Structure 1
Amino acid sequence: MAPQFNDASRRPLAVRKNALTQRIAVWINNRDITPNQISLMSIVFAALGFAAMLAYHFLGSISLLLVTALCIQSRLLCNLFDGMVAIEGGKSTPSGELFNDVPDRIADPLLIIGVGFTTQYEGGMYLAWACALVAVLTAYIRVLGVSMGTKADFRGPMAKQHRMALLTGALVVLFLQNLTGFSIGLPFNIIDLALVVILLGSLATCWRRLVFIYRDVENTALKGEEKL
């Protein structure tokens, strides 16, 4: 019997209902590919993105910016299809949650810190590290809430998909700026701005999730006392 899965612990994504997405998931499901293997592939794409940004730092090839943007989106596709193959495809395993969550905690820092190599601001890499740490903290708070009996809270403003979308867009903009020679002449670039938004937004996300957990567990305890 397949392990039972609580859909409330799943990130709500409208793209799962897309006909093309479902056809791709069915195609993958009919192959000898497990959801855990797909989850691990997200680390591979994140590592490739990190390597591309490190190479960009030393070589300056602007095509590497698009390579990393593609790696970010490929990582997100892995996050999408591992769940669809596991749940809709009936291939979930008892250890699936490990493969679903741990690779994300590796992929997020790899990509965010990697993008830090493209910053123009002198303290850009420190900013990238701060973003990576707070990104992991947002996930820790969500998992902590579940362990305390609350439903999984995927709210933003800088949940995983928001962070990755912003980084992807910033990389494309930086590519176009380099391609056209357009520069605003400031001591920071679009990546620096994106990292600031991610940091502030992630801190707000942490606060909102903490408040949700506090209110939920307190209300649950209060309702329990009223029944006594």
Structure 2
Amino acid sequence: MNDPVANRRPIKSRQMPVFQWLAARLARTAITPNQISGTSIALAFAAGCAMAATSASDTVITQRGLWILAAAMIQCRLIANLLDGMVAVEGGKSSPVGDLFNEVPDRISDSAIFIGAGYAVGGYPLLGFAAALIAMFVAYVRAIGASVDAGQVFAGPFAKPQRMALMIVTCIAMAILPAAWQSIPSQPTITVVATALAVICIGGIITAIRRLQKIAAILRSKSER
């Protein structure tokens, strides 16, 4: 039988009083976990659009404001991802299609953020699409583990929390760094945003390989019993 608690990503933030209080308040309203999951897509699209808009902005101040907005929207997306599960499980408001709303919005949200970063100032569209594709493959590998009865394997080093943390740091860096520091002077094509997307791509590939290895080890162990 599918255990929603055992299959959850281990997140320390669930134990924070502020999120426990907020989840409890939401559970007492008519808001459903699926609606919270849907909201995360809107937040991710807002982040992606804000980043992409930096390349069309004519003023530095506007660009910096857009980067700050993107960082805030990414963080809000993560909070929505946290609260939907807490309202569903701890709040007792789970639904038969909850797993779909837990997974599908995440895949759309990741793509919106990475593709938006690819079109941002200092970004490269190809890297943005590559990061989105690799992030989706990492999640697919986890789904494979669950489908072959190896359980949910959340091994890193670049699972969703780490990918989003790097994007938030990147947005903040772009918002506060002088323009001259946003790329390497000797290699002006190597920028902060492009470097972050490249790290996400490389980290995602390593994560997928580690997850596949763990799933294979679990399946071999089961076959030897």
**Which of 113, 119, 127 does residue 111 from structure 1 map onto?**
113
Q: Which moved more, 1:20-29 or 1:102-111?
A: 20-29
Q: How many residues are treated as equivalent by the alignment?
A: 217
Change (3 A) 1:181 1:138: closer
TM-score between both structures, scaled by the size of structure 1: 0.91
**Contact 2:146/2:152 (<8 A) preserved:** yes
**Contact 1:119/1:188 (<8 A) preserved:** no
Alignment correspondent of 1:159: 159
Provide the C-alpha distance between the structure 2 equivalents of 1:51 and 1:18, rounded to a whole number of angstroms. Answer: 30
Alignment correspondent of 2:134: 134
Deviation at 1:31, TM superposition (A): 1.4
Deviation at 1:119, TM superposition (A): 4.8
**Contact 2:52/2:116 (<8 A) preserved:** yes
**Contact 1:145/1:213 (<8 A) preserved:** yes
CA deviation vs aligned residue, 1:96-120 (integer Å, no higher than 9, x gap) = 0000000001000100110112253
Letter in 1 for 2:3: F
Q: Secondary structure at the match of 1:188?
A: strand
Alignment correspondent of 2:26: 28
Q: Which moved more, 1:50-59 or 1:20-29?
A: 50-59
Q: Which moved more, 1:188-197 or 1:78-87?
A: 188-197
Change (3 A) 1:219 1:4: closer
**Contact 1:47/1:110 (<8 A) preserved:** yes
TM-score between both structures, scaled by the size of structure 2: 0.92
RMSD of aligned residue pairs (Cα, Å): 1.5
Letter in 2 for 1:201: G
Q: Secondary structure at the match of 1:206?
A: helix
Provide the C-alpha distance between the structure 1 equivalents of 2:20 and 2:122, rounded to a whole number of angstroms. Answer: 41
Q: Identity percentage over the alignment?
A: 38
Write out aligned runs for 1:37-186 (5 A): 37-60=35-58, 61-62=62-63, 63-120=65-122, 124-177=124-177, 180-183=178-181, 184-185=184-185, 186=188
Alignment correspondent of 1:226: none
Letter in 1 for 2:214: F
Q: Which runs of 4+ in 1 moved over 4 A?
A: none
**Which of 187, 190, 198 does residue 188 from structure 1 map onto?**
190
Provide the C-alpha distance between the structure 2 equivalents of 1:141 and 1:203, rounded to a whole number of angstroms. Answer: 11
Letter in 2 for 1:135: A
**Contact 1:119/1:125 (<8 A) preserved:** no
Provide the C-alpha distance between the structure 2 equivalents of 1:175 and 1:67, rounded to a whole number of angstroms. Answer: 10
Write out aligned runs for 1:10-25 (5 A): 10-25=8-23
Provide the C-alpha distance between the structure 2 equivalents of 1:8 and 1:113, rounded to a whole number of angstroms. Answer: 32
Provide the C-alpha distance between the structure 1 equivalents of 2:180 and 2:26, rounded to a whole number of angstroms. Answer: 42
Provide the C-alpha distance between the structure 2 equivalents of 1:213 and 1:49, rounded to a whole number of angstroms. Answer: 33
Letter in 1 for 2:107: R
Give 5+ residue unaligned stretches, structure 1: 224-228
Provide the C-alpha distance between the structure 2 equivalents of 1:48 and 1:203, rounded to a whole number of angstroms. Answer: 27
